Amino acid sequence: MENIKETFSVEGYVAIPSLLTAHEVEELRSIYNQLLSETDKTKGLRSDLAGSTNGDGKKVERITQIMRPSMIEEKLMAHNAYKKASEWAKHLLGEDMELDFDMLINKAPHTDTETPWHQDAAYWIDLPDKRAASCWIALDHVHEANGCMWFLPVDEKEVLPHQSLPGGGALYCEADTANAKPIPLQAGGCTFHDGHTLHYSKGNRTDGQRRALILNFRPKQMILLEREKGMDHTGNREKRS
C-alpha cells in the first residue's frame, strides 16, 4: 500500500486493479442501469456531456452524467464501494478525507464521443487546502476502444487555462500528451487521481456500455467551506470522463 501512496503522490494518479468483487460489481450495475432508465427520477441531476443529438437529428444521450446519484438512491451510499474507496482516499491523502460528491458517467455503445483533456480542478472553486482524490470505478471491462482513462501528470500543481467546447459544456485544455498513458481495467478495478492531473478518454466504439461510478473526496473542512460558498455539485458544470 505504501508503494501505491508514493506513486499517487509523485504521479498524481494510481490504478488499483481489484477494488470490488464480481458480486459487488453486479450489485452496482443493477442500481446503475435502473438510474439510467429513470429519466424523471434523475431530472435536474442528469445531463449529456456530448449534447443530445446525433448526426441524423435523432436525440440520444451519448455521455450520460448523473450527479449525486446517492441523493436519490440510498442503496448506493450503503454499498461497500463507498467504504472501500473512502479507506483508500484516507490512506492516500489523510484521515480527514471524506466523500464530497459522487456521479455516474455512461458512454453509450457506438457513440464514439471523446472526453477532452482537462483537470478536474478547473471546475472547482479555489480552496485553501488543495487535497482531493477522484476514484473512478469501472463497472465494465474498460480499454481504449470503449473509453478507458488516460492520464498525464503535470509538473506543477497548478490549473492550466481551460476553455469550453463549442456550444458550452465540458472544459478542455491544450497540453503535450505524447507521454500520456491509457489505464485499461477489469470491471471492479479503479483509478484514483488528484484534481491537477490531466486526464482524457476516447469515445465508445463497442457494442456495450462503458459504465463508471466516480467518487470524489476532499478534507471535511473543505467540504463544509464549499457548501458555505454554495458549491454542492448538483449543477451542470460538473463534467468529467
Enter the pTM of the model: 0.92
pLDDT single digits (tens) 205-214: 999 999 999 9
Residue identified by cell 477489469 is 186
Nearest to 148 by CA among 206, 82, 216: 206
Q: Residue 238 and residue 147: Cα distance in Å, rounded? A: 19
Nearest to 8 by CA among 132, 138, 97: 132
Q: Which residues of 180-209 are buried (b: 16+ CB within 10 A; e: fewer)?
A: eeebbbebbbbbbbbbbbbbbbbbbebeeb
Ranges under pLDDT 50 in the chain:
236-240
- Look at residue 167 in the predicted model and tell me its pLDDT: 61
Per-residue CA distances from 225 to 24, 179, 222 (Å): 33, 36, 5
- Look at residue 54 in the predicted model and tell me its pLDDT: 52
Residue identified by cell 455539485 is 233
Q: Residue 190 and residue 163: Cα distance in Å, rounded? A: 28
- Look at residue 51 in the predicted model and tell me its pLDDT: 63
Class of residue 228 by CB neighbours under 10 A (exposed 0-12, middle 13-18, buried 19+) = exposed
- Look at residue 30 in the predicted model and tell me its pLDDT: 98
